[in-house]
Amino acid sequence: MSKIMSNNYWLDAWQQGKIAFHQSTINQFLLFYFNQLNIKSNSRILVPLCGKTSDMLWLHQQGHKITGVELSNIACRDFFIENDLSYKLTIDNKFKRYGNDNIELMCGDIFAFDDQCPFQMIYDRGALVAFPPIMRQEYVVLLTQLSMPGTILFLVAFESDCKPMCPPFPISYTEINDLFGHHFTIQQLKKQIVSEIPKNMLEHGCKKLFFSAYLFVRF
Ligand code: SAH
């Protein structure tokens, strides 16, 4: 899957409402581990490939400023509408910015995203695994640029023995170490079996699937 195919895949998914990845509740790993991450109050948190996750609202309610980056206008708009939040739409360089003082969603391709000021935390749930393996390296370079020594990266991913043709693309502990180990310390917090394997993954021979949660600290 190339970059263009990947972007089209996601834009179509939003257009057609095929958003099974979207959770109506706050992510269980975020809820469980967040306090242990000791994020300073009023931090800037980046949520790459944010979709319309309510995790952003929850993170803001913990006292932080949120920047999400998302390809689909539908997702950005629906986040504010469904949460009954006011927002302004502005054009900010290559991005459409849907935002208020607390939460801003930058609509566009994350690989065009650039921010002068590094983030104190990055929350990746379903972002790394949304990219086909050939795009991972470029994503890691970007996260390295958007962070600074001490930045916490909290990652929620999938791990499996199979290689599906469409997202999510599972990733192993070894692959994560190879990708991030040059710039981050890596601690696996959790590996938890997924009881119901999604249909597309079963079709690609995934017999076992795990959620995995990691804490990275940039050095
Ligand atoms: N983190 C969210 C969504 C995960 S699904 C959640 O937990 O619900 C991956 C999301 O990334 C989709 O909403 C998709 O539209 C978006 N996306 C995929 N490629 C992207 C890119 N290159 N730039 C920005 N967003 C992208």
Average pLDDT, the chain: 96
Q: Per the domain annotation, does 207 fall within a domain?
A: yes
Query: How far does the centroid of ligand 1 lie from the alpha carbon of residue 191, in Å?
Result: 22
In a domain, 142, yes or no: yes
> Whose CA is closest to atom 10 on ligand 1?
49
> Residue 188 has what pLDDT?
98
Residue 151 domain boundaries: 130-219
For a pocket test of ligand 1, which of 6, 45, 49 has the largest count of ligand atoms closer than 8 A to its C-beta? Answer: 49
* Position 113 pLDDT exceeds 90: yes
CATH number of the domain to which 82 belongs:
3.40.50.150
Residues 167 and 74 in one domain: no
**Ligand 1 center from residue 124 Cα (angstroms):** 10
Q: How confident is the model at residue 201 (pLDDT cuts 50, 70, 90)?
A: confident
Ligand 1 center to 110 CA (angstroms): 9
For ligand 1, whether the C-beta of 153 sits within 6 Å is: no
- Total of domains in the chain: 2
- Domain assignment of residue 198, yes or no: yes
Q: Tell whether 78 and 163 lie within a shared domain.
A: no
Q: What is the pTM of this model?
A: 0.97
Centre of ligand 1 to C-alpha 75, Å, is 9
Per-residue pLDDT reduced to its tens digit, 153-177: 999 999 998 988 889 999 999 999 9
**Which runs of consecutive H residues, i.e. helices, occur in 16-120?**
28-33, 55-61, 73-82
Q: Please indicate, yes or no, whether residues 144 and 57 belong to a single structural domain of this protein.
A: no
In the listed set 96, 117, 138, which residue is the last one of a domain according to the structure? 117
Q: Which helix (H) or strand (E) holds 189?
A: strand 184-193
Task: Name the domain boundary from 117, 144, 165.
Answer: 117
Asked if residue 174 lies in contact with residue 208, where contact means CB atoms within 8 angstroms, the answer is no
Place of tokens 């309610």: 61
Q: Check whether residue 113 and residue 171 sit in a common domain.
A: no
Q: Are residues 172 and 109 in the same domain?
A: no
Query: 171: Cβ below 6 Å to ligand 1?
Result: no
For residue 155, what are its two tokens?
Answer: 């990652």
Q: State the distance from the centre of ligand 1 to the C-alpha of 98, rounded, in angstroms.
A: 16
The token duo for 42 is 């009023």
Lookup: tokens for 219: 């050095």
CA-CA distance, 136 to 186, in Å (whole number)?
17
**105 and 4 fall within a common domain:** yes
pLDDT in tens, 117-143: 899 999 999 999 999 999 999 999 999
If asked whether residues 97 and 142 sit together in one domain, one would say: no
36 found inside a domain: no
